[in-house]
Chains A and B, each alone.
Chain A
């Protein structure tokens, strides 16, 4: 009898604890102090985590009843996944940094909420705030006329080049190549091979891996397209991959590897390029201005930055992340999140972020601060990214952005590895993309 009783009690206990274990997500803390969760990615080298922590600490010092919990969530790809997973698990972050190009997906799946009401509630100050953002970056925030995100860590692609290598081969170290033609000429001079014919230094490096090729390709497409048109329409529903000019741009990439032999063959990874540049293995790289601080700190040679070499015109892609507020959270939390976003995107803070990382501050008034003026005096290479902005346009942004990037990158890779000609690759990319965008037409 006793044994049976113990057995039943044991069973009930185990059953109860297993129910509790399977209960699911936690309730948000209902203390007097509001705790906001904030997901953020890091896509470049450098101690960005510490910088984010500092911004949060400064905010909490000024706002003692709001606690911010920053959560590092990997690179942009990882962050997109983590946000979606968190939302499905009914435990979403209150606000997050995500690619500006994700705004159509964020809006259509109602993950992020429009911010126009907050801007309106701020009256004139709100309007001035939005107007202060550089047009090239603010363009990226609209979906159906509503603002869904605020620019924060924005970047553009620039050419980093090794001035010492230039001098070594008789090129003027203050004159970077300004056209595709010059890019080839200079690269051919900069190539260094050893006695056995193996490459000691390549002329130029462009990242061709799955998450990154589309960024550089946007630049080349903008430089070469007939009327300066981008790879997609403004409403995010159409893509313009299959044009003779884009095929030409892709052919140029293939030629750089094969015909001119100035670029390493195959697929070079985005994350490998800065290391190769710093190690003197490649004389010029197409990379993000967000890596400027890192390169400046570690370069053992004189280096410069320059506009991307143009073709029919100068063009460059913008990239980087914006702040979004998750939809569906309590209004009090939305207001607190909005407060933080305005705090983190003040002109001074954006200038400081620019200094600390090399990302470009997206606000006009940031560039009037003493911070930036001193920075440019110390590091003139930083000015280039800012000066290129008027020629810069958003990178590939459509509905189903992740899938679009994958389609474009897969087909670019198929051409690089010789599985398809550039024309065939662009045609295939166009067909696959239109298939994926069918239901948004």
Chain B
């Protein structure tokens, strides 16, 4: 349509084509490796597709209904929830404390920061192997320490009520340093003047923490909790190494069970259905973060 503005229109269109052209390889990649698998998982979750079957058979929501009825499924969800709770809250608290410590400038702060951060860079497999040795029944370090002080050995990995807390402890040790980094950057964004003004007004450190630090850290707190939550659900290496999900599925978690269904027992349909469950959970957690950030943008 020829008009006075035709020059500007064509320019806009040209810019758009350029943009799409440059984006298309990445878009293609995303389509093939992210969108398509998600859609296929949704589809397979509605089918029956076990080992030896040539093609999947559509059965609707039966997989999900079976999960809802399954004792094992709820046990696994319980384990996953417990692990998340026992890792997210302590690692955030400890991460925040560590960040407060290393936020000041004193001699050796660089060393401390490195020391706190170093478990993060170790691969989970190495950490799991080491802690498996520590937790080994009776001959491991933990039980030997207990024996030395006159207590009875615990054999933490063998029993339902200790295995998840034991793994959580190990993971908090690993993760706190990672969260410390986020808190550190959040803390450094709080201007010093606030603290100076509060000191002039005679406020005590704890009051300053409650009234200044925490509120201004709120966006960071939410972000860190999202990261910590999603990380705890994604973790599976330690289960493979330390317990294979035992004893009696006492340490089996959602992602490990997906691996079992899909790769040990070749049941693609159930594995896909479980993947969808996990996806919904992760999306739910992330949504909280995004919704909140959106509201904060207007606030700022």
Q: Does B237 contact A (CB under 8 A)?
A: no
Closest chain A residue, CB of each to CB of B146: A198
Q: Does B37 contact A (CB under 8 A)?
A: no
Q: Does A192 contact B (CB under 8 A)?
A: no
Q: How many cross-chain pairs have Cβ atoms below 8 Å apart between A and B?
A: 95
Cβ B18 vs Cβ A7 within 8 A: yes
* A70→B259 CA distance, assembly (Å): 26
* A419→B22 CA distance, assembly (Å): 60
Closest chain B residue, CB of each to CB of A80: B264
* Most B-side CB within 10 Å, residue of A265, A266, A276: A266
Known: A196-B150, A411-B248. A265 touches B263 (CB 8 A): no
Contact with B along A55-86 (1 / 0, CB 8 A): 00000000000000000000001001100110
Closest chain B residue, CB of each to CB of A202: B138
Known: A266-B137, A419-B248. A15 touches B24 (CB 8 A): yes
* A277→B184 CA distance, assembly (Å): 50
Cβ A419 vs Cβ B136 within 8 A: no
Q: Is the interface of A mostly helix, strand, loop or mixed?
A: helix
Cβ A8 vs Cβ B21 within 8 A: yes
Cβ A7 vs Cβ B25 within 8 A: no
Contact with B along A189-210 (1 / 0, CB 8 A): 0000000101100000000011
Cβ A417 vs Cβ B21 within 8 A: no
Known: A109-B51, A400-B51, A406-B260. A7 touches B246 (CB 8 A): no
Closest chain B residue, CB of each to CB of A17: B25
Closest chain A residue, CB of each to CB of B26: A18
Contacts of A402 in B (CB 8 A): 264-265
* Most A-side CB within 10 Å, residue of B18, B52, B246, B263: B246
Closest chain A residue, CB of each to CB of B263: A81
Cβ A264 vs Cβ B18 within 8 A: no
Q: Does B281 contact A (CB under 8 A)?
A: no
Q: Does B155 contact A (CB under 8 A)?
A: yes
Cβ B147 vs Cβ A22 within 8 A: no
Contacts of B248 in A (CB 8 A): 410-411, 413-414, 417, 419
* A409→B28 CA distance, assembly (Å): 45
Q: Does A389 contact B (CB under 8 A)?
A: no
Q: Does A211 contact B (CB under 8 A)?
A: yes
Cβ B51 vs Cβ A108 within 8 A: yes
Q: Does B245 contact A (CB under 8 A)?
A: yes
* Most A-side CB within 10 Å, residue of B22, B138, B157: B138
Cβ A15 vs Cβ B245 within 8 A: no
Contact with A along B4-47 (1 / 0, CB 8 A): 00000000000000100110110011001000000000000000
- Chain B count of residues within 8 A CB distance of the other chain: 36
* A210→B247 CA distance, assembly (Å): 8
* A7→B21 CA distance, assembly (Å): 9
Contacts of A439 in B (CB 8 A): 50
Least CB distance, A254 to chain B, in whole angstroms: 13
Least CB distance, A285 to chain B, in whole angstroms: 15
Q: Does A272 contact B (CB under 8 A)?
A: yes
Cβ B159 vs Cβ A417 within 8 A: yes
Known: A8-B21, A265-B158, A266-B158. A18 touches B264 (CB 8 A): no
Cβ B263 vs Cβ A84 within 8 A: yes
Q: Does A105 contact B (CB under 8 A)?
A: yes
Contacts of B155 in A (CB 8 A): 265-266
Which residues of B109-161 have CB atoms within 8 Å of chain A's CB atoms?
Answer: 136-139, 147, 150, 153, 155, 157-160
Which residues of A389-441 have CB atoms within 8 Å of chain B's CB atoms?
Answer: 400, 402-403, 406, 409-411, 413-414, 416-417, 419, 439
Least CB distance, B117 to chain A, in whole angstroms: 32
Contact with A along B247-290 (1 / 0, CB 8 A): 11110000000001001111000000000000000000000000
Contacts of A299 in B (CB 8 A): none
Contact with B along A107-124 (1 / 0, CB 8 A): 011100000000000000
Q: Does A281 contact B (CB under 8 A)?
A: yes
Query: Quick one: which of B51, B150, B247, B263 contacts A413, CB cutoff 8 A?
Result: B247
* Most A-side CB within 10 Å, residue of B24, B28, B139, B157: B139
Which residues of A154-182 have CB atoms within 8 Å of chain B's CB atoms?
Answer: none
Query: Quick one: which of B21, B32, B159, B247 contacts A22, CB cutoff 8 A?
Result: B32
Query: Quick one: which of A22, A85, A210, A265 contacts B244, CB cutoff 8 A?
Result: A210
Closest chain A residue, CB of each to CB of B153: A198
* A11→B153 CA distance, assembly (Å): 64
Q: Does A51 contact B (CB under 8 A)?
A: no
Closest chain A residue, CB of each to CB of B259: A81
Contacts of A411 in B (CB 8 A): 248
* A384→B264 CA distance, assembly (Å): 34
Q: Does A268 contact B (CB under 8 A)?
A: yes
* A7→B18 CA distance, assembly (Å): 8
* A3→B18 CA distance, assembly (Å): 11
Known: A276-B139, A400-B51, A413-B248. A11 touches B264 (CB 8 A): no
Least CB distance, A440 to chain B, in whole angstroms: 9
Contacts of A329 in B (CB 8 A): none
Cβ B246 vs Cβ A267 within 8 A: yes
Q: Does A14 contact B (CB under 8 A)?
A: yes
Cβ B263 vs Cβ A417 within 8 A: no
Known: A11-B21, A199-B138, A406-B260. A210 touches B160 (CB 8 A): no
Closest chain A residue, CB of each to CB of B266: A84
Known: A8-B21, A18-B29, A276-B139. A109 touches B247 (CB 8 A): no
Closest chain B residue, CB of each to CB of A21: B29
Cβ A15 vs Cβ B51 within 8 A: no
Query: Quick one: which of A7, A18, A264 contacts B137, CB cutoff 8 A?
Result: A264
Contacts of B157 in A (CB 8 A): 266-267
Known: A403-B265, A410-B248. A11 touches B22 (CB 8 A): yes
* A327→B28 CA distance, assembly (Å): 34
Contacts of A276 in B (CB 8 A): 139
* A206→B249 CA distance, assembly (Å): 20
Closest chain A residue, CB of each to CB of B246: A210
Nearest 3 pairs of A and B residues by beta carbon:
A266-B158, A210-B244, A414-B248
Q: List 27 A-B contacts (CB under 8 A).
A: A4-B18, A7-B18, A7-B21, A8-B21, A11-B25, A18-B28, A77-B264, A81-B264, A85-B263, A196-B147, A198-B138, A210-B245, A266-B157, A267-B137, A267-B157, A267-B158, A267-B246, A268-B137, A400-B51, A406-B260, A406-B264, A410-B249, A411-B248, A413-B247, A414-B247, A417-B158, A439-B50
